[in-house]
Amino acid sequence: MSYLHCPTCKRAYNLAASPACPSCGAAAGTPEDPTDDIVSAAEQLARALARASDEQRDAAAARLDRRRDALPPGDSVPVWSSVRSLVAPLPRPALPAFTPPALLSQAATVVLARIAPFVRTARRVRARLMAFAA
């Protein structure tokens, strides 16, 4: 039998029978200070979010929503909600409406203002360009 003393509660338990301490739930080999675990989890989350597409992030957010219900009440729920908000895809900004006739009309006005002294029939050219833009 392989007994181990839990680093958290100092009680002995059979490692072959349960991978975590039956008294406090600490896993074997888990350090007492969770700082390294928090930092490595944040780094891993950042790398995964950078690689994931919007569909993959949606799937992960849905899976997190299903698992949130199994959490015990307490401090873990707000942390879980914060992580869930990070996983959700960011809303894409709405693109402004593209209006080619208005842009073409502005461009035609600028071009005609520059070439008008050189073109004898500037009014006809402008009328054709405006008809095309409309």
Q: What is the pLDDT of residues 1-38, one digit of tens each?
A: 677 777 777 788 887 788 788 887 777 666 667 777 77
Q: Where are the domains of the chain?
A: 1-32, 35-89, 100-133
Whether 119 shows a pLDDT value over 60: the answer reads: no
SS3 127: helix
Q: What is the mean pLDDT of the chain?
A: 74
Give residue 102's pLDDT band: very low, low, confident or very high (50, 70, 90).
low
Cβ burial, residue 52 (10 Å; 0-12/13-18/19+): middle
pTM of the model: 0.43
CB 6 within 8 A of CB 21: yes
